[in-house]
Amino acid sequence: MSPLEIAAVATSFLAIWLTSRRNMLCWPLNLVACALYFKLFLDVRLYADMVLQAVFGVGILYGWIVWRRGRHDAGAVVVMPLRRRPAMAGLAAGLLGGLAIGWFTSRHTDAALPWMDATLSSFSLVAQYWTARRHSESWLLWIAVDVVYVGMFAFKGLILTASLYAVMIGLAVVGYRRWRQARN
């Protein structure tokens, strides 16, 4: 457990908690968390997750813009339904992305867990996109991804990060409930 991991965990926790509350401050904090985790994942050779943090940075900027435009007059972020076709397309993209990234990292890098890392990273991108688009279903995908992340991070000895992801499962449950209520 390094000071870098502690800082990344604390920042991520606060950012996810603010996201579950649909608070705009989640976006700048998520940018900081991405930078911290980029360095941490580089250090432990989880390259797909390292690159994921850079892509998340772009996604965070996109989400920040979408959320600023998608608010009620009172300032609350509007939650949008996820239709069946875009949901299926997102899941297919997650699968294809995981296969492509896994193939590349398993053949061209010394990645520690190339296939698992790639699959989780790919589906995390889908979940991030759905979050940016304000779909409550994003939280369900985050729950599924985070369950597996807990095991991967524990295996890599990132116990504090594994613990954060376990807590994030609970935050995702809370986020899903809150967002579903806001949609109704």
- pTM for the model stands at 0.82
How many whole angstroms separate alpha carbon 56 and alpha carbon 31?
Answer: 8
Domain count, the chain: 1
**Per-residue pLDDT tens over the stretch 102-150:** 999 999 999 889 999 999 999 999 999 999 888 999 999 999 999 999 9
How many whole angstroms separate alpha carbon 116 and alpha carbon 113?
Answer: 6
Domain extent for 148: 3-183
